Amino acid sequence: MERLVSADASLSRRRPDESIALTVGSKKKNLGPKSPKVNVDLVHLGAFGKNAFDTYNNQNVMAIQAVGMNMTFYIMQRTTEELYTMFELEHIRCPSSTDEMTMMFGLMDKVMDIVQIFRTYCVTSPEQTSVVEVSKETLKYPILWAMTTATVSCKRKNPHEHTHF
């Protein structure tokens, strides 16, 4: 039992950074695009999911990335000892006011699909739990930093960029 507590504690230190900000009024244009930060957080989310695989010996892990009012759901699967795949399941924009709460009724089918996928692939019974070989080590922060730091200006459209922050 003590090992699980220490593993949970060390796993919580590897979680992606979170940030909650309240903005009242209009946003200045000089704040710049937030898409590079979203991309870095997506890489951190993948590393966090890989560490969850290694800690809990799961075959599938669900990850959620929230940016502003937008939530993107991912499922990560361990296909081989060295290959982890990450799929985007759904993208949902949550209501930002009570006036927009009625739009949740239109999203219930998407939400129920996500819940069904979670129950089918990510929730395991004790009979389904199997011992998995020791996995490769997750990339360390300096390597991730080198991969995600912009060294040149890229003008490509970012597929993870959200228009409503």
Convert the pLDDT of each residue in 131-163 to its tens digit: 555 566 666 667 666 666 666 555 666 665 666
Q: Is residue 23 part of a domain?
A: no
d(CA 22, CA 137): 37
Q: Is residue 115 part of a domain?
A: yes
CB count within 10 Å of CB 117 equals 17
| Helix axes of 35-56 and 141-148: crossing angle, nearest 10 degrees | 150
Q: Which domain holds residue 95?
A: 36-124+137-148
**Cα–Cα separations (whole angstroms), residue 98 to 81, 101, 102, 125:** 47, 5, 8, 39
Q: Is residue 17 part of a domain?
A: no
Q: Is residue 85 part of a domain?
A: yes
Q: What is the pLDDT of residues 33-53, one digit of tens each?
A: 556 677 788 888 988 888 888
Mean pLDDT lowest for which of 67-76, 93-102, 145-154? 145-154
pTM of the model: 0.62
Q: Is residue 106 part of a domain?
A: yes
pLDDT in the model for residue 1: 44
| Helix axes of 35-56 and 2-12: crossing angle, nearest 10 degrees | 170
pLDDT in the model for residue 165: 45
Count of domains observed in the chain: 1
Beta strands of the chain (E only): which ranges?
60-67, 70-78, 84-93
